[in-house]
Amino acid sequence: MSSTIQVDKITDIGGNTMISSNGSGTFTNSLPAPTSGIAASAIDSGTIATARLGSGTASSSTFLRGDQTYAAAGGGKLLQTQQALFTSQSAHNTDSYTASNYTDQITPSATNSKIFVQFNFRSHIYQSSGNSAFSRLAIFRQINGGGFSQFFPNVADVCWGYNGDGSAERTFYSQPQISFIDTTHNTTTAIDYTLYASRNTSSSGNVNIGGSNHQAQVILMEISA
């Protein structure tokens, strides 16, 4: 058994028309528009689609900015890290740069990335007589096996050590750290960084890099542009 209700309009308790019909299948909806501005605290279940949160494309490589726009992450992202540990030592007894045993290699993933370079090591300078004991320390760089050249510091006369009165035997120990950022490599081929050392002058004694059981470390980090 079926039943039929026939009306030409529906009113609220105050007599206001909510829905009316012309009798031919055409309805006029006088209901108020859906309420907007629902409080966030009222959403207590389900997941809001990311597309409803902002404009742009939401993905694993974008983030939602404060202006409600999805955008790719900016520069400064750490792309890779290389490190090498050493307990060896090397002697440098001339006033020309020679390579130590401390070196590491990194292959950048982009030509415009930055390479953070850090060398941590022990240095020992010995002078049998005279009033000073100085050494020169520098990082040399090689790209794609093309040969090493002084890179940081890029001038040859940077030195450190000890200077004093008299002519007694002198020994100077230090724990240097050399850190810099390489922004000029412009390559995606292998880059080698090596510590070089020399005496400051022909009278400034012997320079030793490292020491028995003294640990040294080289750290290389590629950072996105």
Cα separation, 127 vs 208, in Å, equals 12
SS (H, E, C) the chain: CCCCCCCCEEECCCCCEEEEECCCCCEEECCCCCCCCCCHHHCCCCCCCHHHCCECCCCCCEEECCCCEEEECCCCCEEEEEEEEECCEEEECCCCCEEEEEEEEECCCCCCCEEEEEEECCEEEEECCCCEEEEEEEEEEEECCCCCEEEECCCCCCCEEEECCCCCCEEEEECCEEEEEECCCCCCCCEEEEEEEEECCCCCCEEEEECCCCCEEEEEEEECC
State the pLDDT at residue 134: 81
What's the whole-number mean pLDDT along residues 181-189?
97
pTM for this model (two decimals): 0.69
Average pLDDT of the chain, as a whole number: 85
What's the whole-number mean pLDDT along residues 18-40?
71
What's the whole-number mean pLDDT along residues 103-124?
96
Q: Give the domains, in start order, of the chain with CATH numbers.
A: 1-32 (no CATH), 78-223 (2.60.120.760)
Number of C-beta neighbours around residue 136 at 10 A: 24
Number of C-beta neighbours around residue 170 at 10 A: 21
State the pLDDT at residue 35: 61
pLDDT at 202 over 80: no
pLDDT at 109 over 80: yes
pLDDT at 6 over 90: no
What CA dihedral angle connects 67, 73, 76 and 81, to 10 degrees? 150
State the pLDDT at residue 11: 79
State the pLDDT at residue 39: 75
What's the whole-number mean pLDDT along residues 197-222?
86
What's the whole-number mean pLDDT along residues 32-51?
73
Which of the residue ranges 8-12, 110-114, 150-154, 176-180 would you say has the lowest mean pLDDT?
A: 8-12
What's the whole-number mean pLDDT along residues 48-58?
81
Beta pairing partners, 63: 71
187, 80 in Cβ contact below 8 A?
no
